[in-house]
Amino acid sequence: MPGSPILLSSAPLKLIDKESMMSNSSDSSEDENPERGNWGNKMEFVLSCLSYAVGLGNVWRFPYVCYRNGAGAFLIPFIIMLFITGIPLVFMELSLGQYCSSGIVTLWKASPIFQGVGWAMFVVSVLISVYYNMIISYTLYFLFASFAKILPWSACGSWSTEVCNDGELFKIKACTKNGGEWCNGGCIANMTALNETYRLAISPNCSNFTSEIKSPSDEFFHEYVLGITDGVHEMGTIRWELVGCLALAWVLVGLCLAKGIKSSGKAVYFTAFFPYVVLLILLVRGLTLEGSVDGIVYFLTPQWSQLSKAQVWADAAVQIFFSLSPCWGGLITLASFNKFRNNCFLDAIIVSVMDCVTSVFAGLVIFAIIGYMAHELNVDLDKVASEGAGLAFVVYPEVVTKLPISQLWSVLFFAMLITLGLGTQIATVTTVHTTLMDYWPHVFRVNQRRRMLLLVMIAVACFLLGLAFCTQGGMFILQLFDNYAATYSLLLIGLVECIGIGWVYGADRFLGDIELMLGKRPSSIWKYSWKFVAPTALLVRQCFT
């Protein structure tokens, strides 16, 4: 066993059988910790961390946050915050997990005052596990619907309301919103500039439309898939199709974790690489569409004046924080299965940089599509730009109906979202599973049967809790979870974690522990980052909430 969960004890840290640990480290074919297991190889760990960090937020949140905060100019505070808070926190958590070889609660057991940090991470991971799989369930529903001969959201159906329209009214509404008038099948931006005789002649053929209208994709998601009610006060009935998709999502997670870290390490080869393949295909296809270049230019054009706003820097800090996923407990858990001599510093750099590159890459893909949509509807880009579920289940489904072989692009997009979601979900459930096994090893680590039983219990419990999301008002509950389950609480967890490591245990002492693993003492810059820079950034961000 490479390390012991005695972090933050008052006594000097001691390794269990250091000579045995060092000899085991030279043999990559054997597990150093037979009781818990180790990753099959370094690639599995790096891909697992990358798959955990790169999630749905990279595709449906970052592009919107970027354009809203100065477009290309936002990349400057984004990159700065990567080095101020992102990489230091990722490096700290990977080192912490690898050194202790223990779960997020038991690694603090020698200093009970900080065990609350571990339990807070555990609670956050449970909440994320419950609602994140519901998002995967929505995606599974759309994936299955994509195999229809005609995409069901391509036109208004019997499920739609009176405001559903898939014809010319969208262009009329867009024209009116921008101050123009729709005449003879086209939009005239400035009627007063026309010749008076011509203006009088065409006036009888002009029309405006100011009442609310919705696209078939909007109606399909909200009326057919969700059957959504007026609010959280009206939960309605259960949507059994969503229950089936939620059950399938939990079966997929269970299969990936059936043999513990060994099976999840194999699954990650698909969940990590497949999204990049699809994003590349979608980018190439998107660049062939009219208006796509305008969307990318809009996404990258810097609005330098935005950099003077404190909120832009705060959004950059929170985007980095939530994108890399420190303080959820997942990074510590994944690193706890590393061998003791693994170079976790290099891993932290690779994962952090690749996550940010993926965010920018996804932004190019999404804004190429948004540019095409804006061109089709003849509206400004900011009228189409959206984030979250609106982008995934309304805007993009609307786009694919206008493309040749629309089923293919729909299948690729939703398959990509599923793999992105599963990568994060697998690591999150692993955190919950590992925490319980490490806290009660005499109960759950007795044999593989009990480990599997615990996994089934977690899946069933989370599935039952997730049934609330399958009701007609479930989307409102999901939004509450998404907005509050893993937002401000994570900032507080990160702040206390930095205080625990940097001040109570001691940053110099922790750097010495890392030196035992890496064979070389990291730069003192990390000490100042953990003690001053990162906590200050987290505290300032808390003040903005």
> 447 a known binding residue?
no
Tokens standing for residue 211: 């009442």
Assess whether 332 and 467 both reside in one domain: yes
Please name the residues in contact with 310: beta carbons below 8 A apart, sequence gap of 6 or more. Answer: 544
Whether the model pTM is above 0.85: yes
CA dist., res. 257 & res. 416, Å (int)? 20
pLDDT at 78 over 70: yes
pLDDT at 62 over 60: yes
Report pLDDT for 390.
78
Q: What is the DSSP code (8-state) at residue 13? A: P
Contact criterion met (CB below 8 Å) for 296 and 368: yes
> Is 17 among the domain residues?
no
> Is 4 among the domain residues?
no
Report pLDDT for 386.
67
Q: What is the DSSP code (8-state) at residue 26? A: T
Segment holding 181, helix H or strand E? strand 181-183
pLDDT digits (tens, 9 = 90+) for 172-217: 666 776 667 777 767 777 776 677 766 677 776 676 555 567 889 9
Contact criterion met (CB below 8 Å) for 3 and 101: yes
Tokens standing for residue 305: 């004046």
> 399 a known binding residue?
no
Assess whether 109 and 193 both reside in one domain: no
Assess whether 82 and 185 both reside in one domain: no
CA dist., res. 106 & res. 81, Å (int)? 30
Name the β-bridge partners of 187: 182
Assess whether 221 and 198 both reside in one domain: no
Report pLDDT for 14.
36
The total of other beta-carbon atoms located within 10 Å of residue 540's CB is 14
Q: Grade residue 20 by pLDDT with cuts at 50, 70 and 90.
A: very low
Per-residue CA distances from 412 to 20, 251, 403, 415, 536 (Å): 48, 21, 13, 5, 42
Question: Which one has a higher pLDDT value, 15 or 538?
Answer: 538
Amino acid at 282: L
3 state DSSP class of 394: helix
Among candidates 24, 115, 106, 6, which has minimal Cα distance to 509? 6
Please name the residues in contact with 38: beta carbons below 8 A apart, sequence gap of 6 or more. Answer: 31, 32, 261, 337, 338, 339
Name the β-bridge partners of 188: 181
Our count of domains for the chain comes to 2
> 53 a known binding residue?
yes
CA dist., res. 167 & res. 258, Å (int)? 49
Assess whether 183 and 126 both reside in one domain: no
Report pLDDT for 354.
96
Assess whether 339 and 190 both reside in one domain: no
> 58 a known binding residue?
yes
> Is 432 among the domain residues?
yes
pLDDT digits (tens, 9 = 90+) for 325-373: 899 999 999 999 999 999 999 999 999 999 999 999 999 998 898 888 8
Contact criterion met (CB below 8 Å) for 398 and 215: yes
> 348 a known binding residue?
no
CA dist., res. 410 & res. 493, Å (int)? 38
Main-chain phi, psi angles of 419, to 5 degrees: -70, -35
Assess whether 344 and 309 both reside in one domain: yes
Amino acid at 238: I
Last residue of a domain, one of 186, 205, 224: 205
DSSP 264-330: HHHHHHHHHHHHHHHHHHHHHHHHTSTTHHHHHHHHHSB-GGGGG-HHHHHHHHHHHHHHH-TTSSH
Range of lowest pLDDT (159-168, 390-399, 453-462, 493-502): 159-168
Q: Grade residue 2 by pLDDT with cuts at 50, 70 and 90.
A: very low
CA dist., res. 242 & res. 145, Å (int)? 13
pLDDT at 96 over 80: yes
pLDDT digits (tens, 9 = 90+) for 464-499: 999 999 999 999 999 899 888 877 788 889 999 999
> Is 2 among the domain residues?
no
Per-residue CA distances from 306 to 83, 538, 545 (Å): 21, 21, 19
The domain that holds 367 is classified in CATH as: 1.10.4160
Assess whether 185 and 95 both reside in one domain: no
pLDDT at 104 over 90: yes
> Is 24 among the domain residues?
no
Assess whether 68 and 186 both reside in one domain: no
> Is 23 among the domain residues?
no
Main-chain phi, psi angles of 450, to 5 degrees: -70, -35
Mean pLDDT, rounded, for 407-421? 95
Report pLDDT for 441.
92
Q: Grade residue 3 by pLDDT with cuts at 50, 70 and 90.
A: very low
Mean pLDDT, rounded, for 215-226? 92
Question: Which one has a higher pLDDT value, 99 or 323?
Answer: 99
Among candidates 71, 87, 65, which has minimal Cα distance to 353? 87
DSSP 263-281: HHHHHHHHHHHHHHHHHHH
pLDDT at 21 over 70: no
- The b-or-e profile of 78-116 (16+ CB within 10 A means b, else e) is bbebbebbbbbbbbbbbbbbbbbbbbbbbbbbbbeebbe
Assess whether 240 and 121 both reside in one domain: yes
> Is 1 among the domain residues?
no
Assess whether 185 and 234 both reside in one domain: no
Token pair 């932290």 is found at 348
Assess whether 101 and 195 both reside in one domain: no
pLDDT at 109 over 80: no
Q: Domain of 177?
A: 168-205
Among candidates 389, 391, 390, 383, which has minimal Cα distance to 363? 391
CA dist., res. 518 & res. 495, Å (int)? 26
> Is 410 among the domain residues?
yes
Q: What is the mean pLDDT of the chain?
A: 86
Report pLDDT for 204.
67
Report pLDDT for 17.
38
β-strands 206-207, 186-188 pairing: unpaired
Range of lowest pLDDT (397-411, 424-438, 451-465): 397-411
Contact criterion met (CB below 8 Å) for 217 and 165: no
pLDDT at 24 over 70: no
CA dist., res. 121 & res. 16, Å (int)? 27
Share of the chain above pLDDT 90, in %: 55
pLDDT digits (tens, 9 = 90+) for 281-321: 999 999 999 999 999 998 888 889 889 988 888 888 878 88
